[in-house]
Chains A and B, each alone.
Chain A
């Protein structure tokens, strides 16, 4: 399963949800869906903008964890 570590990166860069949403041209609601791991998929363009604003790699935001069976 893919884990979204967006909140970790946002804390590291000391940026709030509203500010990040405005910078990457996304609504707060959609960014919140992403941050809380409720999204089903992420577009490359969104990932591109996030990495650009947070100055990080996709691997810093996305993490793979084995599903516990």
Chain B
């Protein structure tokens, strides 16, 4: 199967997102003070904010990077055979990651600081998780159909 142009562009975008995300996450403790005005303001108003936000952001960054990596691996299967169980499991893992992220957002709002943006973002992430689970089931059905088709002589 020839790889579609959009698929290739998407792959490069994901590579770029992964690299930027990795560098950003790694340098966050050093850059957050310098580049984010809102952070400095919040840190000056709320004691202990820096100690709470940095681990939270790092904890959120790692699963996000994992999701991007899984998407890259899935896109790499497109030229050969995209309907494989590996992609079904990858989408399932992405769904689980999104639910874990949503839980982290809600816990932040409940136990530290209630931010309407983070709270609403939690629901958005839950929706993304449900979407990933739905896609996982769809691809699973496609795998079954493909296997049956291959065994139709």
User: Is A34 among interface residues, defined by CB-CB distance under 8 A?
Assistant: yes
**B152 / chain A contacts, CB cutoff of 8 Å:** 39-43
**B147 / chain A contacts, CB cutoff of 8 Å:** 40
**B153 / chain A contacts, CB cutoff of 8 Å:** 26, 30-31, 33-34, 39, 41-43, 46
**A34 / chain B contacts, CB cutoff of 8 Å:** 153
Instruction: Name the residue of chain B whose CB is nearest to the CB of A31.
Output: B153
> How far is B151's CA from A31's CA once the two chains are assembled, in angstroms?
11
Interface size for chain A: under 10, 10 to 19, 20 to 34, or 35 or more residues?
10 to 19
Instruction: Give the size of the chain B interface in residues (CB under 8 angstroms).
Output: 5
- Identify which of residues 102-153 in chain B touch chain A, using a CB-to-CB cut-off of 8 Å: 147-148, 151-153
For A30, A31, A40, A46, which residue has the most chain B Cβ atoms within 10 angstroms? A40
Instruction: Name the residue of chain A whose CB is nearest to the CB of B152.
Output: A41
**B151 / chain A contacts, CB cutoff of 8 Å:** 33, 38-41
- Identify which of residues 4-40 in chain A touch chain B, using a CB-to-CB cut-off of 8 Å: 26, 30-31, 33-34, 38-40
Q: List 5 extra interface pairs beyond A38-B151, A39-B152, A42-B152, CB under 8 A.
A: A30-B153, A33-B153, A34-B153, A39-B153, A41-B152
Identify the A interface with B (CB < 8 A). Answer: 26, 30-31, 33-34, 38-43, 46
Q: List 23 A-B contacts (CB under 8 A).
A: A26-B153, A30-B153, A31-B153, A33-B151, A33-B153, A34-B153, A38-B151, A39-B151, A39-B152, A39-B153, A40-B147, A40-B148, A40-B151, A40-B152, A41-B148, A41-B151, A41-B152, A41-B153, A42-B152, A42-B153, A43-B152, A43-B153, A46-B153
